[in-house]
Structure 1
């Protein structure tokens, strides 16, 4: 779809706390929303190297559940794969981070994140590993406190006893509006080594169009919580606006950012994110004839999707559906859908919260049936390993 830039001047201020780890040196994003810096590793949500040929994937794909990795998880939300194949998973309501052995499914609790105030849709949400994790062992987390949503980082010390392996949290960014609903929560480091965060408007629809508010936005930050170099609005962390509740972030093989977004009563969305663009909420839900709004790549009725996490693999975006109880495949050509979306696993595993690349043609998939809105079965919640094409 055609994308239209919206010009604006921003004088945004966010209350930032910084600490002494390197802020990275990622360059500003390109005009198509991609990063111009050369990545030193694979981006979160990406499985194809920069510079690889861009091919249109087949119109029809496939999904096979290779195995159940782990069961018995309580309100799982965020997922961060480790280099050795193990997984870190956050519990929204228990405010804990647990390490799951990627082979045996054995669970080891790292510890509880202090300061989390779970209520409604808030709690301990997304987690991500530092771009320098091999040397700094830093885990980032997005959570709801008593006053706001914020991002912290903690050292993960494997040498300490289980339950005591998380260091004291260092708050790198705060002041994101909180509510009983629409707290956003997904965080991920991009190919440019900058930290991206999807936020919600906390039920106050006016925040989404207010470029001085952090609600209803995608934010782009340095690892220290500063507005990232090259952001579209001067001295602001805001990367895009006019969102309702962003809970999915992923980059394709050309380093283009995509995001999933909850609609209200009519249309959920998958969006291709261009820096500085306005995605319409609350004036537009789904496609719009207003040339000032960036239209979605695709849209779904809310009972088919209610999307949370997304990942990129095999030329497609894979989108986990909560209310829809299914996994969507959206094949891409550039930043447009190249064929109709396909639904998989419909009503087989209940609510689906998070999907993440697992290497090659594989994905991790996390269910969300113990979050108060699902119908949990005996083994819920669980992590699945999928083979996709």
Structure 2
């Protein structure tokens, strides 16, 4: 039995792939413990997963208004000097055989490099979409990361992908979704999307069985830091009284005063795997989790990306692949959203392209490939 410590932070879509890996580890008889931040404790424990805090970094994390959270995440998660001591404490207390570290926790990776502990990097998106070398996200992180690396007596990085190169690196995506696939180091292993296995259950449609109108899934980020409400409202306005059924999953968004048209239903949370087999098109922010889950079932997309993270690049890639449409997530009008959804429903080419990507995803090994490599590292 191997003991695996999974280092994580609350980035919403970064957590389900890690949970899927932990579930597979436990199923194979291994021990998995999550190490992260105080606000994540209940998220993992309600799923029956063991959780311990990264005490110093957790104390440095202070939730605030959305506009302030980039600085908080940079300081307390992505380039956290506290991780240098937190990782040492985790190794002493949990005695893991191997670490699985979120790809954006560069302080933890510097500590793992200094401690010479067997480590795997978990890239929870397409790396060329999430953190392209020379891109604006890297430009905001690189100096801070190198300051932490200097404290760990590690060499400075020219780009942040170089921070992953000392370790086994797995990417929970496919090459087709990466706009920089030709530039990605060969050592980065694309294992395919990994999802959290939901508890057994079925989705019971709130519409009559004989209702054959196409089902549109509306699902934006589960994280609290983006403008999700206006995207939900504009999409509902766009699809009101159209010949379709609309199912909205609202996540953490406060939707108590959102007007719901007669053809729409709203749920706070629903495992996508239960409903996607019935969905004709997904309207989404184009985060990797929702995007990849939809494509796994051959469902085309209408993308309203938030202006940061991997979403604009993934939305552009889906459009280039012919598996969906991209709009400006900040400014798209209800008329534009309605037009895009109508186009995707009417033109079966979008579904055909999405199904081709579904076949590609089905050919990947997912969590099994990650476990094989973790077991090798733990030996």
Q: TM-score, normalised by structure 1?
A: 0.27
Structure having the higher helix fraction is 2
Structure 1 or 2, whichever has the larger Rg, is 2
Structure having the higher strand fraction is 1
Q: Which has the higher contact order (CA 8 A, sep 6+)?
A: 1
Q: TM-score, normalised by structure 2?
A: 0.28
